[in-house]
Amino acid sequence: MFQRVTVALDGSALGETVLPWVRQLLGEGSVKVWLVHAVAPEAEWVWGYAALGQPMPLPRPHAENYDSLARGYLDRVAASLAAGERVRPIVREGEPAAVIVRAAQETDAQLIAMSTHGRTGLGRLLLGSVADQVLRSSGRPVLLIRPDQAALQAAEQAHNAPDR
């Protein structure tokens, strides 16, 4: 059904809970996937996730290294999907929702896939929602995965595996 899919990844275990769905899509033949990672522009901070899943500021690595670290991360994820040239990385500087939407436009994606915290109330008000921004501004179908605790634990184990 979908031939071109943009997948948003932020480097966290939660973000990677979308990967089982991506594997299913890739198993359906000629699907092409673009893995997208946004690098915060000229910022001193990026968002990371503590063991409890709460956002916390982490110092941004030196800008000249961060792009290569992000590309290395996406290359490892692409290799784990074992789909060869059908999976390609995109690393762009910018606000995450804008980067994801722009990448979907550039690749003419028929679907955007990403994980979400599913925050509501004050948490959503204070932290915002990249998923909500993408959903409202992309004009494309968006597959949002809100993992249950078991899926998140499995993703954390895979994310923290020694071969990564």
**Model pTM above 0.75:** yes
Instruction: Convert 140-163 to b/e letters by CB count within 10 Å (16 or more is b).
Output: bebbbbebeeebbeebbeebeeee
Q: State which amino acid sits at residue 106.
A: E
Per-residue pLDDT band for 152 (boundaries 50, 70, 90) equals low
Span 132-156, mean pLDDT? 81
Span 144-161, mean pLDDT? 72
- Per the prediction, the chain carries an average pLDDT of 78
Give 49 or 156, the one with higher predicted confidence. Answer: 156
What are the tens digits of pLDDT across the range 19-73?
A: 999 999 888 778 999 999 988 765 444 444 444 444 444 455 555 677 788 888 9
**pLDDT value at residue 30:** 87
* Residue ranges of domains in the chain, CATH in brackets: 4-159 (3.40.50.620)
Dihedral over Cα of 144, 102, 6, 89: its sign: negative
Give 154 or 124, the one with higher predicted confidence. Answer: 154
Return d(Cα 75, Cα 79) in angstroms, integer. Answer: 6
Q: Is the per-residue pLDDT at 75 higher than 70?
A: yes
Span 14-19, mean pLDDT? 88
β partners of residue 145: 115
